[in-house]
Amino acid sequence: MLDIKDFSIFENHSSFDFKGFLLKIFGYWKLFLASLIIAFTIAYQVNIRKEKIYNMKTLISIKEESNPFFTSNTSLVFNWGGISDQVSGISTILQSRSHNELVVDKLQYYIDYLEKGEYNMIDVYGAVPFYVNIDKTKPQLAGTLISIKFLSPNEYEIRIPFENNSVSLITYSNNSYSNTTVQPVEFVKKYKVGEKVVLPFLNLNLEITDNPGYYTGREYFVRFNDFDAIVSRYRGIGVEADEKAGSILTLSLQGTNKARMVEYLNSTVRMLIKMQLDGKNQFATNTIAFIDSTLVAMESQLKETGNELKSFRKDKNIYEIEEGGEKVSEKILNFDVERDALTRKIAYYNSLKAYLKNSVDYSKLPAPTVAGIEDPNIVTNVSKIIALSAQRSEMAYAVKSDKIFKDFDNQMVAVKNVLLENIASAKSSLQYDLALVNNKIGEAESSIKKLPEEQQELLKIKRKYDLSDNIYSTFLQKRNEAEIVKASNLSDIHFIDSAKDIGGGLIGPKTSVNYVLALFLGILVPLIIVFLLFFINNTIQNADDISRQTQIPLIGVVGINKENTSLAVFQKPKSALSEAFRGIRSSLQFMYKKRQLDGAKTLMITSSISGEGKTFCSINIATVFALSEKKTVIIGMDLRKPRLADEFNLVNQYGVVNYLIKQKTLSEIVNKTQIPYLDVILSGPIPPNPSELIISEVMGELIEELKRTYDYIILDTPPVGLVSDALELMQFSDVTLYVVRQNYSKKEMITLLNNRVKRGELSNVSIILNGFENKAKYGSAYGYGYYGGYGAYSNGYHDEEKKVWFPKSIFKRFKKQ
């Protein structure tokens, strides 16, 4: 059966130390504070430098408006489709390149009007006291700030700092670029308001606005931008359909200048209304153009037949000639009008058929009613194919999807095929009617031949004149109908709320977001640093790190020495640091008593590597023994790198080495110190063979001789991780203290210590944690030790300076001022 002790092996398994990590975070509070100050300073600087961002909106509705003058006889209008189709089409048009090109060109938004602000250039469109008129056919300086400073109400100065020998120019009539050479100096020239500026790189004239205000002495800047780049910017206009009313659209723009956005939103809608109305008037426009061209020929023909009739009547009794032919003349005129109507319909069908087969743009087709065709199938399908053709032309600038174009093309092909079938059917019927009319006209003409010759001639001329007059009157009537329809058409797009600056619309910069981000980054960055340090740092941090690495007991935790000397216990015997060494003294006495050692006791102090505080610990442990009136001696056994002489202000002339080579006696190498009951034996001159001297028999004689004089013998040895000297001295030691230092000693060194203890190279070993910082880079009083371990409860027992809370110390400093 398993016992709980069988699981003791898991106690040493490493795991994440959450408590230690949190304490390390608190230990780095200054880093977090500095990081937050820097982050909030950057956020503040970013916020004050950012221009305010506004969002302006306009609301439009799409309502299918029918023409009040629309009848079956005036079928000269067509619609863009249903409301849903219109919403989709209008959204596409508003974001299309061609549409925005028209608006940008009309408003000349490729010209920037700027003023120098505290941190950057500010767009002051709508607030400047002037505007520039440019010659679009002439080049303008591209992308360079042009300073305009008003010297007086009627005079200004242009300044342009040229840095290179050539500059880029843009010509807005064809949106082309070119270059011209200039002098790489600052160009300065004065002009009168309204005077034309004609330069190789500038062609404009400046005019003052109606209400300019006071502007003398002020400086403004003008810049000519890339036309396509500005169009691309405004193609990002927001178009959003209302969820509850699909026929309502909200248009929005974001930017720094409200006046510019308001004008653009209203102008883009007005441009759209005009385009949509022009589209609705396409039939009427096409019809008027067709009729106008026909009327020119008809006027000439009517005038010619009128002159012919006038010449015939001259010197003749026209009433006698006309007598008896009125009925025949009226009858044959009706047949001629009927035949002309049929002929015009057939001619229209032939023209329409040829147009459908040979063309791909059907937007210029005249209305079928211009030829008297009232077949609803023909009228509807011609209207539909014109609408599709117009829509496709608009989408060509905004849509790049081949699938959408194929869908439109398929619809147009389907409508075209239906039209061709309708044309074939209608033509066959018309040709049959035309044959009947021709037969009737033939019969009427045969009866005319029975009349006198002069009467036949008169009827012939009058027949031509009456037919031309009838056709001319019909065309005039159709033209008037088209004009009425065109004038009475209404756009399907209407303003609900036009864009207007009413003082709101501010959406940025979002300063609160920047401050939240600063708070987040100000904490995250140092947290990542601490996190990396926590995992990358493989040094001993606290007593728990030692207990997880070894079973060797920890007998004391020593704090950081803040004095300029290593004699910390002697200088401040009531300090917390001194109490830590007294605690180590008590533990050592307990160990000596447990081992039942009588007489003089030896203590060897070593470590893994140099710098962990062996000598510091040796001096202060010896001091606490001496302060208890025990005769104590420290022997500097670090023959390779001696330090004891410096700590006691002695000269390292004679020492252990001199004794071991039998140059000096014991009394000659012992040095008295300022501390009662404490002597020190220095290492002496550095020998060429320190290890051989240590293992010599003379070393044993030295220890035995010292035991007859002193109560405690402390060996300050070199680090065992670097040389083997300390291992050779192990035979003379009753207890060994192994010093590790916080944030310095590697955890791997504890593993090496375990191996040495396991092999028997070191025995009776205990560990001292040196350099432990109360609020160090790990945390306060973590588990063991004396230095700061009792916090506020140690008040009155130690001589440590009372620390003032950081904010309170700052407050006191200001209060003193």
Q: Is the pLDDT of residue 482 over 60?
A: yes
* 148 confidence band (pLDDT: 50, 70, 90): very high
Q: Could you read off the pLDDT of 346-396 as tens digits, one per residue?
A: 887 887 888 787 877 776 677 676 677 777 778 788 877 777 776 676 665
- By CB atoms closer than 10 A (0-12, 13-18, 19+), residue 614 is buried
Residue 353 to residue 607: CA distance in whole angstroms: 107
Q: What is the pLDDT of residue 80?
A: 41
Closest residue by Cα to residue 448 from 361, 336, 606, 541: 336
Highest-pLDDT range among 5-14, 344-353, 409-418, 612-621: 612-621
**Eight-class DSSP state of 10:** G
* 817 confidence band (pLDDT: 50, 70, 90): very low
Q: What is the pLDDT of residue 525?
A: 92
Residue 592 to residue 599: CA distance in whole angstroms: 10
Q: What is the mean pLDDT of residues 513-524?
A: 91
Q: Is the pLDDT of residue 780 over 60?
A: no
Q: Could you read off the pLDDT of 585-631 as tens digits, one per residue?
A: 999 999 888 888 888 999 999 998 888 889 999 999 999 999 999 99
Highest-pLDDT range among 278-282, 542-546, 667-671: 667-671
Q: What is the pLDDT of residue 65?
A: 62
**Those residues with Cβ within 8 angstroms of residue 317's Cβ, 6 or more apart along the chain or in another chain:** none
| Residue linked to tokens 């079938």 | 421
Q: What is the pLDDT of residue 186?
A: 94
Q: What is the pLDDT of residue 402?
A: 66
What are the Cα distances from residue 536, in Å, to 20, 528, 539, 717, 742?
14, 12, 9, 31, 15
What are the Cα distances from residue 110, in Å, to 113, 132, 208, 374?
10, 12, 19, 49
Residue 542 to residue 561: CA distance in whole angstroms: 17
> Taking the alpha carbons of 96, 97, 98, 103 in that order, is the dihedral positive or negative?
positive
Q: Are strands 219-224 and 146-152 parallel, antiparallel or unpaired?
A: antiparallel
| Angle, vertex CA 435, rays to CA 421 and CA 372, nearest 5 | 55
Q: Could you read off the pLDDT of 77-100 as tens digits, one per residue?
A: 444 444 456 788 788 889 999 899
* Structural domains of the chain sorted by starting position, each given as residue range(s) with its CATH number in brackets: 20-50+510-536 (no CATH), 83-277 (no CATH), 282-488 (no CATH), 543-816 (3.40.50.300)
Q: Sheet harboring 712-716: ordered strands across?
A: 554-559, 765-772, 735-741, 601-607, 712-716, 632-636, 678-681, 670-672
| Angle, vertex CA 664, rays to CA 661 and CA 666, nearest 5 | 110
Q: What is the radius of gyration, based on Cα positions, of the chain?
A: 54
Q: What is the mean pLDDT of residues 721-742?
A: 86
**Which has the minimum average pLDDT: 137-141, 150-154, 531-535, 550-554?**
531-535
Phi and psi at 273, nearest 5°, equal: -60, -45
The four Cα atoms 370, 374, 376, 377 give a dihedral, to 10 degrees, of: -70
Residue 485 to residue 500: CA distance in whole angstroms: 34
Q: Is the pLDDT of residue 710 over 80?
A: yes
Residue 234 to residue 256: CA distance in whole angstroms: 14
Amino acid letter at 694?
A: I
Residue 606 to residue 568: CA distance in whole angstroms: 19
| Residue linked to tokens 């067509």 | 78
Are 538 and 748 within 8 A, CB to CB?
yes
* 20 confidence band (pLDDT: 50, 70, 90): low
The DSSP string of 556-616 is EEEE---SSSS-HHHH-TTSHHHHHHHHHHHHHHHHHHHTT--S-EEEEEEESSTTSSHHH
Q: Is the pLDDT of residue 560 over 80?
A: yes
* 476 confidence band (pLDDT: 50, 70, 90): confident
* 539 confidence band (pLDDT: 50, 70, 90): confident
Q: What is the mean pLDDT of residues 175-200?
A: 94
Q: What is the mean pLDDT of residues 570-576?
A: 87
Q: Could you read off the pLDDT of 325-334 as tens digits, one per residue?
A: 555 666 666 7
Q: Is the pLDDT of residue 154 over 80?
A: yes
* 452 confidence band (pLDDT: 50, 70, 90): low
Q: What is the mean pLDDT of residues 175-191?
A: 94
Q: What is the pLDDT of residue 455?
A: 58
Q: What is the pLDDT of residue 146?
A: 96
- Residues above pLDDT 90, as percent of the chain: 35
Q: What is the mean pLDDT of residues 17-46?
A: 84
Are 280 and 489 within 8 A, CB to CB?
yes
Are 303 and 472 within 8 A, CB to CB?
no
Q: How far apart, in Å, do the first and last CA atoms of the chain sit?
A: 76
What are the Cα distances from residue 385, in Å, to 251, 365, 390, 397, 541?
30, 9, 9, 20, 84
Q: What is the pLDDT of residue 724?
A: 77
Q: What is the mean pLDDT of residues 162-188?
A: 94
Q: What is the pLDDT of residue 51?
A: 85
Q: What is the mean pLDDT of residues 540-569?
A: 86
- Higher model confidence: residue 421 or residue 219? 219
Q: What is the pLDDT of residue 342?
A: 81
Residue 237 to residue 266: CA distance in whole angstroms: 12
Which residues are 160's β-sheet partners?
187
Q: What is the pLDDT of residue 444?
A: 65
- Higher model confidence: residue 113 or residue 247? 113
- Higher model confidence: residue 174 or residue 473? 174
The DSSP string of 341-382 is HHHHHHHHHHHHHHHHHH-S--TTPPPGGGGT---HHHHHHH
pTM, two decimal places: 0.57
Q: What is the pLDDT of residue 319?
A: 46
Residue 750 to residue 756: CA distance in whole angstroms: 10
3-class secondary-structure state, position 631: coil
Q: What is the pLDDT of residue 317?
A: 47
Q: What is the pLDDT of residue 538?
A: 82
Q: Is the pLDDT of residue 814 over 60?
A: no
- Helices 83-94, 376-395: axis angle to 10 degrees equals 30
| Residue linked to tokens 């306009």 | 58
Residue 239 to residue 57: CA distance in whole angstroms: 10
Question: CA 652 from chain center: how many Å?
Answer: 69
Tally helices (H) and strands (E) across the chain: 25, 25
Q: What is the pLDDT of residue 329?
A: 64
Q: What is the mean pLDDT of residues 141-161?
A: 95
Q: What is the mean pLDDT of residues 736-753?
A: 89
